[in-house]
Amino acid sequence: MSYTDATDDQSVDSKSHQGLFHSLARLVAIWILLSLFSGCTIKNYGDQQFRLQMASHGKDVMWVPTKIDMAREMLAAAAVSTKDIVYDLGSGDGVIPIEAARKYGVRAVGIEYNPDLVGLSQRNAARAGVEHLASFKRGDIFVEDFSEATVITLYLGENLNARLMPKLLSMDPGTRIVSNTFRMESWIPDRELRLTSGEQAYLWIVPAFIDGNWELSNAPAALSGRLSIRQKKQFFDAVFKPNSRKEIVISNGKIDGSKVSFEFVDVDDKTYSFFGSVSGDQLSGYVDQDLSLLVFGRRIP
What residue ranges do the domains of the chain occupy? 56-205, 212-300
Specify the amino acid at residue 278.
Answer: V
Q: Quick check: 20 pLDDT over 80?
A: no
Domain 212-300: which topology? Lipocalin (2.40.128)
Q: What local confidence, expressed as pLDDT, does residue 46 receive?
A: 55
pLDDT classification of 221: cutoffs 50, 70, 90 = low
Instruction: Please say whether the beta carbons of 158 and 184 come within 8 A.
Output: yes
Q: Name beta bridge partners: 282.
A: 279, 298
Cα→Cα distances 244→225, 238, 241, Å: 9, 18, 8
C-alpha torsion angle, residues 156, 160, 165, 167 (rounded to 10): -90
pLDDT > 90 fraction of the chain, expressed in percent and rounded: 66
Instruction: Please say whether the beta carbons of 136 and 108 come within 8 A.
Output: no
Q: Quick check: 14 pLDDT over 50?
A: no
Q: What local confidence, expressed as pLDDT, does residue 49 receive?
A: 76
User: At a CB cut-off of 8 Å and minimum separation 6, what does 282 contact?
Assistant: 296, 297, 298, 299
Phi, psi (deg, nearest 5) at residue 247: -65, 150
Query: Distance (Å, rounded) from C-alpha 298 to C-alpha 280?
Result: 9
* CA dihedral over 137, 141, 147, 150, signed as positive or negative: positive
Strand order across the beta sheet in which 191-194 lies: 134-138, 107-112, 85-89, 151-154, 176-180, 200-205, 191-194
**CA 116 centroid distance within chain:** 25
**Please, is 75 exposed, middle or buried when counting C-beta atoms within 10 Å of its C-beta (0-12, 13-18, 19+)?**
buried
Cα→Cα distances 220→22, 232, 297, Å: 87, 30, 14
- 228-254 pLDDT, tens digit per residue, is 999 999 999 999 998 767 889 999 999
Q: Quick check: 48 pLDDT over 90?
A: no
Domain 56-205: which topology? Rossmann fold (3.40.50)
Buried b (16+ CB within 10 A) or exposed e, 51-69: ebeeebebeebebeebeee
Query: Distance (Å, rounded) from C-alpha 266 to C-alpha 263?
Result: 10
Q: Name beta bridge partners: 250.
A: 238, 264
pLDDT > 70 fraction of the chain, expressed in percent and rounded: 78
In 170-270, beta strands by DSSP E: 176-180, 191-194, 200-205, 212-217, 225-232, 235-242, 248-256, 259-265
Q: Is 77 helix (H, G, I), strand (E, B) or coil?
A: helix
Phi, psi (deg, nearest 5) at residue 144: -65, 150
Of the listed ranges 83-87, 129-133, 215-219, 288-292, the one predicted with least confidence: 215-219
Q: What local confidence, expressed as pLDDT, does residue 30 receive?
A: 45
pLDDT average, residue stretch 154-170: 96
Q: Is 287 helix (H, G, I), strand (E, B) or coil?
A: strand
